[in-house]
Homo-oligomer: A and B are copies of this chain.
């Protein structure tokens, strides 16, 4: 971020209605992912949405490409007979304008093998730009940073 873009994360906290919408959006979004509904999950991105991770050399660009990439991921996981649960919490949400919000949050993944014991698989932090579109929230840009990477 350049200096002119920089703003304190708590400069403009969203109101309670927006906060509840965003927390519910995230909860539903992660439930879709863990239920292997990759295409419905990817519908949570804008058509030109970007999904970047510090463990990948390049961001994934565009809803269709994000969907196809996640489809391969969840299909691979099905072959391993484990269940993953993505928890996203500790959300700070700041208003950018009427239809746009920036968030910072934590996310962890719990993993349980069939017949086995649950454990922590991964700890991450995230930063999204969310936009209001068609009466719902979508992710325009997501950056996930894996801890320890």
List the interface of chain A (C-beta within 8 A of B): 9-10, 13-17, 19-21, 23-24, 26-28, 30-31, 83, 85, 87-93, 104-106, 108, 110, 112-123, 125, 136, 147-148
Contact = CB atoms under 8 A, between A and B. Distances in A.
Nearest to A30: B90
Given A110-B108, A123-B118, A147-B118, A15 B20 contact: yes
Given A87-B89, A119-B119, 18 more contacts: A9-B28, A10-B28, A10-B136, A13-B20, A13-B24, A16-B20, A23-B91, A24-B91, A27-B104, A31-B90, A31-B104, A31-B106, A85-B147, A87-B90, A116-B148, A117-B120, A117-B148, A120-B120
Contact of A148 (B15, B19, B83): B83
A147 B112 contact: yes
A112 B9 contact: no
A28 B106 CA distance: 11
Contacts of A14: 20
Which 8 interchain pairs have the tightest Cβ spacing?
A: A112-B148, A112-B147, A118-B123, A16-B20, A16-B16, A27-B90, A19-B20, A83-B147
28 contacts: A9-B28, A10-B136, A13-B21, A15-B16, A19-B20, A19-B23, A20-B20, A26-B90, A27-B89, A27-B91, A28-B92, A83-B148, A85-B123, A85-B147, A87-B90, A87-B108, A89-B90, A108-B110, A110-B120, A110-B147, A112-B148, A113-B148, A115-B148, A117-B120, A118-B121, A118-B147, A118-B148, A120-B120
